[in-house]
Amino acid sequence: MISEAQGSAVCEVAGETLVLLPGKAVFWPAERTLFVADLHLGKAAAFRALAVPVPTGATMDTLTRLSSVISDVQPLRLCILGDLWHAQAGRTEGALEQFSSWRDAHSALDVWLVDGNHDRKCLPLPAHQRVLDVPNGEALGPFRLFHEPQALSEGYGLAGHLHPGARLVGRAEQSLVLPCFWFGESCAVLPAFGAFTGYGRIRAKAGDSVFVIAGDSVLRV
């Protein structure tokens, strides 16, 4: 198992051990499954289609980082908890070619996608990209897979959507918002994986567990 000395942190939830990676992903060693959320591929291209001058390269950066995480933990299954793509306008020929090349490079990997609110506004993915569409609430062991966080009476949810960030305040009142993993009573929210996404500040409750990503380390706060 990946150790905390390598920058990750371990969280015990629903009777299982999850490894929280500084690459903004969660690894479930027992099932060799990797969870990520909110890649928002093509977001910059969608903005440029609206004449908003944003830099290129975000999609390639996101896929390169995802390949790096996959190389580190060697999963058999990748579960994307919604918003793989940002908008249909962002599915340019170049972006689709980049994703197809990424998929070919990881052809042995099972890829599941829980449709997010942005995915539902896009056309279905081409069959040759081999991404299995699974419904919100899909069961995987003790976990239930969602895009938007849910309060559950059975099972434990894993979700995205909120792009969670935690605000840390220093002694001189300086502050910093960092991406985080947020584990609530019945559902966890993963940080946004995409290179071109912002943060939504969380409001953790008593009993919740929050882990921030500070550079190459995951730290409980």
Model pLDDT, residue 3: 42
Of the candidates 189, 122, 118, which has an alpha carbon nearest to the alpha carbon of residue 156?
189
Distance CA 9, CA 21 (A): 7
**Is pLDDT above 50 for 62?**
yes
Model pLDDT, residue 198: 77
Angle 131-103-58 from CA coordinates, rounded to 5°? 100
**In sequence order, what are the residues at sequence separation of 6 or more whose Cβ sits closer than 8 angstroms to the Cβ of residue 144?**
137, 138, 150, 152, 155, 156, 157, 158
What is the per-residue pLDDT across 73-130, written as a single tens digit (0 to 9) for each?
999 999 999 999 978 887 888 899 999 999 999 999 999 999 998 888 887 888 889 9
Count up the domains in the chain and report the number: 1
**Is pLDDT above 90 for 35?**
yes
**Is pLDDT above 90 for 185?**
yes
Q: What is the percentage of the chain residues whose pLDDT exceeds 70?
A: 89
CATH code of the domain containing 174: 3.60.21
C-beta of residue 85 within 8 angstroms of C-beta of residue 118: yes
What is the per-residue pLDDT across 153-175, written as a single tens digit (0 to 9) for each?
999 999 999 999 998 886 666 77
Overall average pLDDT of the 27-53 stretch: 80
C-beta of residue 85 within 8 angstroms of C-beta of residue 42: yes
Model pLDDT, residue 155: 96
Q: Which domain holds residue 19?
A: 4-220
